[in-house]
Amino acid sequence: METSLQAPVIPSPAVKDTVSIRKRIRRSFRQIRMESVFKQTLAIAGLLLVILVLGILLTLITQSIPSIRLLGLKFIWGSTWNPVKDVYGAFPFLLGTLLTSFLALVICIPFSVAIAIFLGEYYPTGWFADVLKNAVELIAAVPSVIYGFWGLAVLVPMVRALEARFGVDQPLGVGIFSASLILSVMIIPYAASLGRQMIRMVPEHLKEAAYGLGATRWEVIRHVVLPGTKSGLFAGILLSLGRALGETMAVTMVIGNSSILPKNLFAPGNTMASVIANEFTEADKTVYLSALIELGLALFLVTVIINIIGKKIIDRFTNE
Amino acid sequence: MRTDNIQYRIGKSKGFKILTFVLAFACMIPLAAILFFIIKAGITRINFHFLVNIPRPVGEKGGGIANALLGSVIIIALASFIAIPIGILAGVYLSENKKGRLAYWCRLSVDILQGIPSIVIGIIAYFWLVKPLGGFSAFSGSVALAIMMLPVIVRSTEETLKMLPPSLKEAAFALGMPFHRVIFKVIIPVGISGILSGVMLSIARITGETAPLLFTAFGNPYLSADVTAPMQSLPLLIFNYATSPYNDWHDLAWGASLILLIWVLFLNVFTKLISARWKVQL
């Protein structure tokens, strides 16, 4: 945006008073100076954000160097985590994170897609849709610690009863399955709202053409709407996945916090985020702390990559 | 398309419509269950006594959450104080510079910031502030929350200002206004509703955040207004008391949950009213 580079006020012949002319000139120059100072301030604010992100990345890398140097690749594949004996294998946490996130995603996808189709295609407006839309926003608004508390008080006993019925030995209730259930509720809104926007963007004439050929409502959705919004829905699911991977509090409260490799879906476990939340303030050794930060670095990189891919897909989609 | 029996096709279409309805509204069941349970468990706890007292030790009945309420307000106010000016300035920068290398990297940074897990921001604040300053402090918690607020404010400011008609700015320039006055006297006042909804949204988002406060504000069982010392906040109190083995503390946490829920919902409704009043698209 080209902005006005104001010329200093040229004294008109009508103005006789030289003092006032000088004053006006000085004022104009001050304004011009202010203008460039202001522009620099804006640029500095922008630069600050870039520095912030670089600083975060750098801090994570430098702080996890001791663990990277000492543990190397063993860190990823080692399946025992015993800080007392200085054994740091993060595989149980990687597995825990992947299991909870993907299980949550599998549970949430049908619901998210249904909400997206409902609000995008069947009922885009009306009080009926408003109720559902507000409910979805409410799901996103409830703080994660409240989900965790509710999960601990209500969901965990239910899962425990379920486990007892299915004959799982040691029905605890807390574990990967409970964490996935809570997560699946929490991540519904992200895929649903994005999917809804994408479905709304499908051109009306395409749908009308399909109706004109005698297609039923379902056939239009199946063969026109969904193929057109495939990449948008995929991006929404990616964003949901990013949320699920980084979610900390609710998972920490219901997953059981066990550093042993989980044997089945009902076993207690730990995710990368939950182990950081639990052990960060207890880490008294440099390697221990550094190992936890390395987990944070891994979490950071994975969520950033997932989010950027998701954003790129959305950008391409909306620009078409 | 296949040429099946028409009745079958219509039936299939109706079947899927019903399935979509059922699945879409099924997500309201857990939401209703959570709201109902929190209200049921929390409502009996809340009274004036609950709001103005600090928690009692284990074994004693009663006690309140005054320290957490005060702490939350202070931490959030300080975070807003840090994040709002930087966020709005960066948003203005992005809307004024649509192209350019710095603008590109800045936009990318905002996208990255939005996706960072909150626990990682807690780690960062720990290394940037808690360790150098030599102890947990409310201030470090505020900085962590401010980092979480930034992307929301920058995005909403940029999106709002981008939608303003360019003729507004051109008219102001034509009158000879210098750039900074055009921004402060024309652009920001016109877009204030969108910026304000972004700010409210970001506050609503950080009000319930616990993870960044675990290693920064840390929590404090006593009433404290000192930002250089550990401070309690509502979500921290809920987390600590909910995971404790004592029933009295669970009761306290239920009351605190209801207060937090009401607070967050109020902020969300307020944001909605602002955006509905000025017809902002967020």
Nearest to B30 among A185, A273, A307 (CB): A185
Q: Where do the structural domains in chain A lie, given as residue ranges?
A: 1-71, 75-319
Residue contact B115–A307, C-beta within 8 A = yes
What are the Cα distances from residue B33, in Å, to B163, B239, B261, B265?
A: 40, 20, 14, 16
Mode of pairing for the β-strands spanning A81-82 and A87-88? antiparallel
CA-nearest residue of chain A to B260? A143
In-domain check, residue B41: no
- Check: CB of residue B116 under 8 Å from CB of residue A56: yes
Is the minimum CB–CB distance between A244 and chain B shorter than 8 Å? no
What CATH number should be reported for the domain holding residue B80?
1.10.3720.10
Is the minimum CB–CB distance between A65 and chain B shorter than 8 Å? no
By percentage, how much of chain B surpasses pLDDT 90?
A: 57
pLDDT bucket at A1, cuts 50 / 70 / 90: very low
- On whether both B65 and B114 belong to a single domain, the answer is yes
- On whether both B32 and B171 belong to a single domain, the answer is no
| Residue keyed to tokens 């076993």 | A267
Gyration radius of chain A's alpha carbons:
28
Q: Could you give the CA distance from residue A269 to residue A93 in angstroms, rounded to a whole number? A: 8
Residue contact B178–A31, C-beta within 8 A = yes
Is the minimum CB–CB distance between A247 and chain B shorter than 8 Å? yes
Using a 10 angstrom Cβ sphere, with 0-12 exposed, 13-18 middle and 19 or more buried, the burial of residue B134 is exposed
- On whether both B155 and B52 belong to a single domain, the answer is yes
In-domain check, residue B152: yes
In-domain check, residue B225: yes
List the CATH code of the domain at A75-319.
1.10.3720.10
pLDDT bucket at A32, cuts 50 / 70 / 90: confident
The average pLDDT across B133-154 equals 94
Q: What is the CB neighbour count within 10 angstroms for residue A69?
A: 10
Least Cα distance to B261 among A243, A150, A89 occurs for A150
Q: Could you give the CA distance from residue B14 to residue B20 in angstroms, rounded to a whole number? A: 10
Nearest to B89 among A41, A119, A185 (CB): A41
**Residue A165 confidence (pLDDT):** 87
Is the minimum CB–CB distance between A195 and chain B shorter than 8 Å? no
- On whether both B121 and B14 belong to a single domain, the answer is no
- Which tokens belong to A196? 């809804």
- Which tokens belong to B248? 């009295």
Residue contact A53–B16, C-beta within 8 A = no
Q: What is the CB neighbour count within 10 angstroms for residue B242?
A: 24
In-domain check, residue B214: yes
- Tell me the residue range of the domain where B223 lies: 48-277
In-domain check, residue B197: yes
The average pLDDT across B191-215 equals 91
Q: Could you give the CA distance from residue A137 to residue B64 in angstroms, rounded to a whole number? A: 30
**Residue A151 confidence (pLDDT):** 94
The rounded mean pLDDT for chain B is: 89
- On whether both B171 and B122 belong to a single domain, the answer is yes
Residues of chain B in contact with residue A146, where contact means CB-CB under 8 angstroms, are 34, 38, 208, 238, 257, 260-261
pLDDT digits (tens, 9 = 90+) for A252-308: 999 988 888 888 888 899 999 999 999 998 888 888 999 999 999 999 999 999 999
Residues 6+ apart with CB under 8 A from A96: A176, A255, A262, A269, A270, A271, A272, A274
- On whether both B162 and B212 belong to a single domain, the answer is yes
pLDDT bucket at A2, cuts 50 / 70 / 90: very low
The average pLDDT across B218-233 equals 88
Interface test with A, best of B124, B128, B254 (most A CBs within 10 A): B124
Please give the full DSSP string across A121-184, using - where no structure is assigned: II-SSSHHHHHHHHHHHHHHHS-HHHHHHHIIIIIHHHHHHHHHHHT-SS--S-SHHHHHHHHH
- Give the global pTM: 0.90
Residues of chain B in contact with residue A194, where contact means CB-CB under 8 angstroms, are none
- On whether both B218 and B246 belong to a single domain, the answer is yes
What are the Cα distances from residue B180, in Å, to B92, B99, B173, B210?
A: 11, 20, 11, 38
pLDDT bucket at A320, cuts 50 / 70 / 90: low
Residues of chain A in contact with residue B182, where contact means CB-CB under 8 angstroms, are 3
The average pLDDT across B140-156 equals 95
